[in-house]
Structures are given as C-alpha cells and as structure tokens.
Structure 1
Amino acid sequence: MDSVSHGAPAGAHPERLSFRFFVHELQHYLHLEKGLLHTFVDLLVRPGSLLRGYFDGTRRREYTNPIAYGLMAAAASLIAFSTYQKAYVSWMRAQMTTVTPAGMPDGFVQAYMENIFAVTQRSAVTSFLLAVPLALSVWLLFRSARFNLAEAFAFAFYAVGTYLFVYAIGVSPIVYAAHAWTFAQYSGFALQVIVPIWLGLRLFGGRVVNVLKLLLAVGVSVFVGYMVIIVGVITYTVATMH
C-alpha cells in the first residue's frame, strides 16, 4: 500500500511538520496575508483613505476584515494584560470598599465589587462589545446614502480594534515596567475616546459639527456600554446572593 501521506500530491515529498507550517496555517486561517500590519498602520496614519477604500470595495483586498481585526486586537490585548494581571489584581482589590450603604443587603457592595472586578479583568472583551453601541450611534448621526449600517459596524470594529492594539503595544509595556495602574486606567479611557474620533474626522471631515457628532457618538456608546455592564452586574449580584 502506498505510504505517501494524505494530502501530498502524487510523486511529491510530504513536508515534515514544523512550526513554519503552523504559522502558515494560522496566517491562512486569520487572513494575515491581507496585511494586518498594513491595516493597523493605515488606520493610524491614513484612516480616511482606508475606510473609504474598504467601504467602496476599491481597496478591500489590501486590508484585514474589520471583525477579524477586532478579534485579533482583543486577543493581543488579553495577552498583554496577562503579563501584569496578578499585580494589577492586587492593586484593584486594595481600592475596593466593603462598606454597605443603608438599605442594601449585607455584603452586597463586596459581592458587587468582586463581580465588577471580574468584568474589568476582561476589558478586551467588554471593549470589543462596545463596538455595537458605537456603530449604532455613528450610523444614526452620520446616516446617508453614502454611509450605511454595515459600514458603521466596520468603522466601529476598526476603531475598537485599533484602540486595543495601541493599548497592547504602547500602554501595556509601560504599565508592566512601571506598575502605573492609574495611568493604565486613564490612558485606556482616553484611547477609547480619541481613536474613534480620529478615524471619524478623517472619514467624515474635520468640520466642527462632525467633531460634536463624534463626541456625542462616543459619549453615548461609552455611557450605554457601561450602563449595560453595571445593570448586568447588579442583577447578577442580587440573583446570586443568599
């Protein structure tokens, strides 16, 4: 019986399993050949050109799909966070309060803070979910025949993904080296605001009215996102308390 491995062309020598093979397969699966680095750089320096080219299809083959881009950014952010997670956890616990306000069940605040704390450790996931209210807000404020809902979601995934990549590459090393926990919180929030506004101004133009619309869209998306998280955590805390 022929001993040639399945999948090898007739008469060809099968390739021995190697890390290069794994990397090649991963690149193929994640479509990294479409230019993850190219997509990231262009979103930083020429986001308007990238977004318009991706929306109208003239340059879509050059760039990573926005959903894949966002997912890979979330993965990068989680990996970066893991490098200082234990120390950050200790700092966060030191900030917690155990005082229960009047009218609240005993231990409610402690249980609520523990659950909020668990959510904050998954900030990459919650940031990725903020793409939904961001997309809807931007679409409602800039809706036109030239900007539809699908394009709004692509914009939001690119914005959130870029924020997560910048945080993982630029902020996380500083946090890891200096244990700058307050800096981590403020810089993370600032990037959540700055990145979508930068992309939006390059896409829609730098008029004052567009600045105001983008500030409103980002503000609404952050408010809605955090309110959903807070209400969800309160509901979960009440339901699981005995």
Structure 2
Amino acid sequence: MNTCIKCNSEVQSNYCPNCGHPQKVERINGRYILSEVTNVLNFQKGILYTTKELLIRPGHNIRTFISEDRNRLVKPIVFILVTSLFYTLFLRIFNFEDAYINYSGTPESTSYAIFKWIQGNYGYSNMIMAVFIALWLKLLFRKYAFNFFEILILLCFVMGIGMLIYAVFGITQGLTGIHFMQIAAIVGFIYTTFALGQFFEQGKAMSYVKAFFAYILGMLSFSIAAVVIGILIDLIK
C-alpha cells in the first residue's frame, strides 16, 4: 500500500482514487517536450482549433465558452499570451513596420517614452487596452448580463486573433516588401467589430455599431490615459 504524495490518501493503483495524482510522474525528456508542444498546437483543443473557431463564429464560440463549455477552446489568457508571443517573434524575424499608434510629442517627455514602449510591446499593450475597451463595452451593452470579467475574456480571444492577423500581414510584408500593415490594421479593426457585435447580438445592426464605438472609445481612452500619466510624471519630476 502506497500513499499519495499530494493528498496522503492510500493508493493501490497507478493513480490516486481521491485526487487523481499519478503515483509515478513521467520523466521530462524529448518525448515529453514534444507531447507538450503538440497539446498546445493540436487541432482538437489547441491554438489552431481555437483560431479556426474564432475566425468562423467568434461570438457563438466565446459565448459557449463563457456559459456552457470551457474545454473546447484554449484558455483565454494562454491564447492571448501565445498569440502575442507569435506576433513579437515574427516582428523580430521580419522586422515589419508596426506603428499603428503614433505620438508626435517631444522625445524628452515621459508621454513619448510611454508611446515608444507601446509601439514596441503591442502584445502587452493590448492586454492593458482591453481593460479600457471592456469598460466601454460594459457601458454600451449594460442591458446584457455579462459582467466585466466575462467581457475581458471575450477581449482576450478577440484581440488574440487580432495579433495573429497583424502577424500574417507582417510576414507577407517582410517576404514581399509591399507595405501591408495599414491593411492589417483595417482588417483587424473590421474583425474586432464583427466579433464583438456577434457576441452580444448577432442579428442586430446596432450591436455592431455599439461594438465599433466601444472599440474606438477604448483605444482613445487608453491613449489619453497614457498621455495624462506621462504629463503627471513630468510635472512631478
């Protein structure tokens, strides 16, 4: 009779009957690493499957994830982290122009430094900007029962796809030398509006109009907050 190292229950088989912890943990080797990578990228519940589902029916799939089944898609935080990593990796490899947000202030100002950081870290910036967009979505769609954190989950999925859209256009630009990033910004904006509108109410045109303004106002609020923070820091200094 053995004892589970996790919950101290008596174990007679390969797995603990109480918590399910295995008696013997698999040794980390090349096969284990390959298995982990395959699990992340697999077509059943991995990044590729999640990307396909979010491109085809984003609103339906995210609503299902929030209210019914949270095992079909990759976890939202993992999804936006991985897609942001992909974007950053391809940006470093292909060195494509990515200045979606420009700031023309003096280089000595803190606001200028903040926007330079934003331009160099769109993955992290998107996570911060999602908070501002979520606030506007909560305000404009206040009759719906979704809380602030559920809307943040929605934005993790949607903005993760946005990062992949930018990455694909960036790779194309890097390979062809043709400037595609402005088109990428337009396509990403259209997708985001479509996905957010479909999530709240697919059949209503007003749902897409509200999604459009929530996204615009969220971006503006994020930019204004960055400028204000920069000004306050300069005043304190």
TM value normalised by structure 2: 0.73
Aligned to 1:6: none
Q: Output the CA distance in 2 between the equivalents of 1:16 and 1:200.
A: 41
Deviation (angstroms), 1:235: 4.6
Matched, 1:84 2:100: no
More helix by share: 1
Tell me by how many angstroms 1:48 deviates.
2.5
1:45 matched to which residue of 2? 56
Amino acid at match of 1:148: N
The aligned residue for residue 194 of structure 2 is: 198
Report the Cα offset of residue 191 of structure 1: 4.2
Number of the residue aligned with 1:129: 128
Kindly provide the amino acid, as one letter, of the partner of residue 223 in structure 2.
Answer: Y
Deviations 1:83-105 (A, max 9, x none): 133x759xx8xx998xxxxxxxx
**SS of corresponding position for 1:110:** coil
Distance 1:135 1:235 in 2: 25
Aligned AA for 2:206? V
Identity of aligned residues (%): 18
Q: Which residue among 198, 201, 220 is the counterpart of 1:223?
A: 220
| Cα 1:88/1:214, change in 2 over 3 Å | closer
Length-normalised TM-score, structure 1: 0.71
- The amino acid that maps onto 1:207 is K
Return 5+ residue gaps in structure 2 as ranges: 1-13, 15-23
Shift, 1:206, TM fit: 3.6
User: 1:172 deviation in Å?
Assistant: 1.4
Please state how far the C-alpha of 1:218 moved relative to its aligned partner. 0.7
Counterparts of 1:178 and 1:142 in 2: how far apart (Å)? 42
Cα distance change of structure 1 residues 40 and 179 upon mapping to structure 2, 3 Å threshold: same
Cα displacement (A) at 1:60: 1.7
Query: Residues 87 and 166 of structure 2 are in contact (CA less than 8 Å); yes or no, is this contact kept in structure 1?
Result: yes
> Equivalent residue of 1:83, what SS?
helix
Tell me the alpha carbon deviations over residues 1-50 of structure 1, each in whole angstroms, 9 at most, x when there is no partner: xxxxxxxx8xx9x86822x322334566x697732211111110111220
Partner letter of residue 132 of structure 1? V
Alignment length, in residue pairs? 208
Conserved? CA contact 1:115–1:237, under 8 Å: no
2:208 maps to which residue?
Answer: 211
Partner Cα distance (1:96, 1:143) in 2: 33
Match of residue 139 from structure 1:
138
Counterpart check, 1:176 vs 2:174? yes
Tell me the alpha carbon deviations over residues 144-196 of structure 1, each in whole angstroms, 9 at most, x when there is no partner: 4542223211111111111012211x211122124455x42x23532452222
- RMSD in angstroms over aligned alpha carbons? 3.2
Alignment CA distance shift 1:80-1:50 (3 Å)? same
Mapped to 2, the partners of 1:159 and 1:15 lie a distance apart of 37
Q: Structure 2 CA distance, aligned partners of 1:234 and 1:44?
A: 40
* Cα distance in 1 between the residues matched to 2:129 and 2:108: 25
With over 3 angstroms needed to count, the CA separation of the structure-2 counterparts of 1:235 and 1:82, relative to structure 1, is farther
